[in-house]
């Protein structure tokens, strides 16, 4: 049945559900403007960044208010202030406390990004910070889709591991890409060297994130990509879940939203546990976990949060047991031969790599497209598991397919052209797809091997309130769900294979890009909802279940 054009009233007066069909579980969620105004009124009034470069004593009132506000939202009770303690704080104690919190708050996720214009904001914790952009209220997801995404995580973990062991498959699948993409070529060179010396990764660790969107037309959950390196926001995403539960505890009754429907998000703790278990398997109590990070990293606090929890689990030492990459996925991370030599040295070492070079290559766009071909998944997985993964695959094609390229030139709005790049901001959309395809056809060179075509997914937009730098923006927005997965294996023993929390990102529906650090999206969370069909096959009305 096609979409219904009229809005359908729901039992809660503050919510309306629109554009529903018998084959679709997509919907718009609208909140009463009066309720939104009441919630926004509880936000801090200052719009200035909290931690500037001025001395703490000159900015105590605003800094303290913001710190306590965000600390309360994310459940940091240790810095909660009451009247008694406030009267007992000396003139020197409070400045020192705020100065200390400038760094600690970043590690605890109270602050997220260093401001681009602030000196040392990307290198020194506590300097020039601004709060993480977040959605005021969570974006619901149907329970069936949530369960599906969580069920797929361990299967994708196992798939990555099995594909990584097939060196010939990786080399053959990326051989044409290697000829036209210098970055992929260098990664494959390192991989080739490991094959030549028969280097075996006995202990294999993967911290992954599979990203999905719900397509409004088909009511299917489609995978956008599988991240096998630097799967970010495990730390800050958990904190936004806590923030939304707090908001719904305060205002959920008026909104008709149950805070218990927002699932607990344990991604950062489970990532830390996976790193700690890998360290334990390495079996050297003097060893450390080494984070490889980018210079001038504005998103350092997501990394600090994981590091903070990891330090609670085991003591530090000197020998490197685990190399955890939060860099190395972009050509910008290798400005000279020194960086490539360092990557090769780490790959040759006995340290556990997260990811290893083979895990890294499994996450490339070309491998994603190869795995979507008929019968390829079945090389690595049992038929039942392969069928579950294939159900979430969107259309993926190489540019060798002349018919699909012709269709993409005629209808470019239905496709995304993706290069072999990670980190956001690299994909091609709309009329630019047509122009690039025509350019590649005209030049008749091998550069087309550096790209894949993907079916574009069109989620339903919902009215949302997105908060950046203390200012609330009202937008029609769409969301992308990421499910984290952790995998640890020692020889034939699987020590850990779990889904472990989620990342919800929401952005303006008019935006093609979806990065949080790049300013396009905000961090969000999800209440899980169920739908009841009250009319049968002639479905015209759906209600949010009473327990939402």
Q: In a 3-state reduction of DSSP, which class is residue 24? A: strand
Q: How far apart are CA 512 and CA 520, in angstroms?
A: 9
Residue with tokens 């001395």: 55
DSSP-derived secondary structure letter, 197: T
By CB atoms closer than 10 A (0-12, 13-18, 19+), residue 313 is middle
The 10 Å Cβ neighbour count of residue 547 is 9
Rounding to the nearest 10 degrees, give the CA dihedral for residues 69, 71, 73, 75: -150
Q: Catalytic residue, from 107, 158, 201, 225: name it.
A: 225
Q: Catalytic residue, from 227, 231, 242, 525: name it.
A: 227
For residue 547, what are the contacts with CB-CB under 8 A and spacing of at least 6? 258, 261, 530
Whether 422 sits among the annotated catalytic residues: the reply is yes
Rounding to the nearest 10 degrees, give the CA dihedral for residues 101, 103, 107, 108: 10
Strand partners, 396: 454
DSSP 63-82: HHHHHHHHHHHHT-GGG---
Whether 480 sits among the annotated catalytic residues: the reply is no
Strand partners, 24: 21
Q: Catalytic residue, from 59, 245, 418, 489: name it.
A: 418
By CB atoms closer than 10 A (0-12, 13-18, 19+), residue 77 is exposed
Q: Catalytic residue, from 206, 252, 423, 482: name it.
A: 423
Q: Catalytic residue, from 273, 281, 422, 480: name it.
A: 422
Peptide bond into 270 cis (omega under 30): no
Whether 519 sits among the annotated catalytic residues: the reply is no
For residue 115, what are the contacts with CB-CB under 8 A and spacing of at least 6? 49, 121, 128, 129, 130, 298
Whether 444 sits among the annotated catalytic residues: the reply is no
Q: Catalytic residue, from 173, 232, 464, 475: name it.
A: 232
Whether 59 sits among the annotated catalytic residues: the reply is no
Q: For 117-166, where are the alpha helices, taking DSSP H only?
A: 143-164
Whether 410 sits among the annotated catalytic residues: the reply is no
Q: Catalytic residue, from 245, 261, 421, 505: name it.
A: 505
> Two tokens at 86?
């406030």
Q: Catalytic residue, from 261, 365, 489, 507: name it.
A: 365
Whether 90 sits among the annotated catalytic residues: the reply is no
Q: In a 3-state reduction of DSSP, which class is residue 375? A: coil
Q: How far apart are CA 275 and CA 368, in angstroms?
A: 26
Q: Catalytic residue, from 59, 111, 204, 209: name it.
A: 209
Q: For 256-336, where are the alpha helices, taking DSSP H only?
A: 267-282, 300-313
Whether 418 sits among the annotated catalytic residues: the reply is yes
Q: How far apart are CA 308 and CA 262, in angstroms?
A: 25
By CB atoms closer than 10 A (0-12, 13-18, 19+), residue 244 is buried
Whether 199 sits among the annotated catalytic residues: the reply is no
- The residues annotated with a catalytic role in the active site are 209, 225, 227, 232, 365, 418, 422-423, 505
């Amino acid at each position: 049945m096609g979409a219904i054009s009229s809005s359908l009233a729901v039992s809660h007066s503050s919510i309306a559900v629109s554009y529903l069909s018998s084959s679709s579980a997509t919907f718009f969620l609208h909140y009463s403007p009066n309720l939104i105004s009441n919630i926004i009124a509880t936000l801090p009034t200052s719009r200035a960044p909290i931690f500037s470069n001025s001395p703490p004593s000159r900015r105590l009132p605003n800094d303290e208010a913001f710190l306590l506000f965000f600390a309360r939202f994310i459940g940091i009770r240790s810095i909660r202030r009451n009247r008694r303690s406030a009267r007992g704080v000396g003139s020197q104690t409070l400045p020192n406390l705020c100065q200390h919190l400038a760094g600690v708050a970043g590690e605890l996720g109270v602050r997220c990004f260093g401001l681009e214009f602030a000196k040392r904001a990307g290198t020194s914790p506590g300097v020039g910070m601004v709060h993480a952009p977040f959605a005021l209220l969570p974006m619901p997801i149907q329970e069936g889709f949530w369960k599906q995404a969580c069920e797929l995580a361990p299967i994708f973990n196992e798939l990555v591991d099995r594909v990584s062991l097939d060196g010939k498959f990786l080399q053959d699948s990326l051989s044409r890409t290697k000829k036209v993409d210098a970055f992929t070529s260098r990664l494959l060179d390192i991989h080739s060297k490991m094959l030549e010396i028969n280097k075996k990764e006995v202990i294999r660790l993967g911290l992954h994130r599979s990203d999905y969107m719900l397509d409004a037309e088909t009511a299917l959950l489609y995978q956008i990509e599988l991240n096998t390196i630097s799967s970010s926001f495990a730390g800050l995403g958990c904190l936004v879940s806590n923030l939304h539960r707090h908001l719904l505890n305060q205002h959920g009754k008026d909104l008709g939203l149950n805070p218990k429907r927002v699932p607990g998000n344990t991604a950062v703790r489970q990532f830390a546990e996976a790193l700690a278990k890998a360290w334990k398997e390495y079996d050297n109590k003097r060893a450390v976990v080494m984070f490889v990070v980018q210079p001038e990293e504005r998103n350092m606090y997501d990394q600090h949060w994981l590091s903070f929890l990891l330090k609670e689990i085991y003591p530090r030492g000197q020998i490197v047991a685990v190399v955890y990459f939060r860099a190395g996925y972009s050509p910008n991370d290798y400005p000279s031969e020194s960086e490539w030599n360092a990557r090769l040295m780490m790959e040759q070492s006995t340290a556990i790599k997260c990811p290893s070079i083979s895990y890294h290559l499994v996450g490339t766009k070309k491998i994603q497209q190869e795995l979507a071909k008929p019968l390829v998944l079945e090389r690595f997985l049992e038929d039942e598991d392969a069928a579950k993964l294939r159900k979430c695959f969107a259309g993926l094609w190489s540019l060798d397919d002349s018919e699909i390229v012709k269709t993409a030139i005629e209808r470019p709005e239905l496709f995304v052209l993706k290069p072999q790049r990670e980190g956001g901001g690299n994909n091609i959309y709309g009329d630019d797809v047509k122009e690039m395809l025509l350019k590649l056809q005209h030049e008749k060179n091998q550069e087309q091997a550096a790209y894949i075509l993907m079916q574009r997914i069109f989620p339903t937009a919902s009215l949302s309130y997105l908060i950046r730098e203390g200012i609330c923006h009202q937008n029609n927005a769409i969301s992308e769900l990421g499910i984290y997965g952790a995998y640890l294996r020692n020889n034939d023993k699987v020590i850990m294979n779990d889904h472990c929390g989620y990342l919800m990102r929401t952005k303006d529906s008019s935006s093609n890009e979806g990065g949080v650090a790049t300013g396009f999206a905000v961090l969000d969370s999800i209440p899980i909802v169920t739908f009841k069909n009250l009319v049968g096959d002639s479905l015209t009305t759906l209600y949010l279940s009473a327990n939402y």
